Amino acid sequence: MSAVVCFDIRNFSMHVAHLLAYGEADRIFKLVEKIFACLDDAINACYEKIGVKDKTYVNHTGDGFVAIFYGKSKCLQGLLVASLVATGVKNLFDEYNEATKDMPMHLDYGIGVHRGLIKKFNYHSEYPTSKLVGVGFLGHVINIASRVQESTKDHTFNLICTKPVYDEVISIISEKESKTIDECFFPLGRHKLPGIKRTYMLYGVRKYKVSASFPKKLKTES
């Protein structure tokens, strides 16, 4: 089992086109670099807070990324990283949107988190003699996490997770802590995600409560 975090910037293409027309594209690409730096900082901060270092794989996809977490407390890691990224990105976007008031639409973001089975495989580059080995992933869980991310457009929450993520987080922390953690989640009901047959129970995540409430020491079961 793995936890998958999908992040995407809304209205990114429109901003790129507008800034390209005025020769200012560097402004938004520097912003993207800062967003990816937020991800790196969030992963490091997560390791320090939870105290569990397991493998994390990140694939940057244009104006977004997919982060995959393996090992103990994987959903907790995924949610905490997502929360820290969301907090940092909001500050970046508030500053950017204030400086680009003339734009017809402001930048926004969505983050989806899901849990499930993923197959990891290694592959070589297109050159047979190359010794470079890449890492690839297969799994329906990635598609679902992406659709959960898209569902943030229909809610007031920029960060949404599925019930399997919620259930795992609640199961690995103490009863006393779970009462506090439970305040981080707001049930949104069952949803039919585009292209997905079954419905999923979704939870809006209060990112600030997540960052403040997650404990340092956990019962980290596999």
Per-residue pLDDT of the chain (222 residues; tens, 9 = 90+): 889 999 999 999 888 888 888 888 888 889 999 999 999 999 888 877 776 666 788 888 888 999 998 876 788 889 999 999 999 999 999 999 998 888 878 999 999 999 998 877 776 666 556 566 666 777 788 999 999 999 999 888 999 999 999 998 888 776 666 677 778 899 999 998 888 888 999 999 998 788 776 655 443 332
What pLDDT, on the 0 to 100 scale, is given for residue 188?
Answer: 94
What is the model's pTM?
0.87
Fold of 2-213: Alpha-Beta Plaits (3.30.70)
What pLDDT, on the 0 to 100 scale, is given for residue 28?
Answer: 86
- The residue ranges of every structural domain in the chain are 2-213
* 84 phi and psi angles, rounded to 5 deg: -65, -40
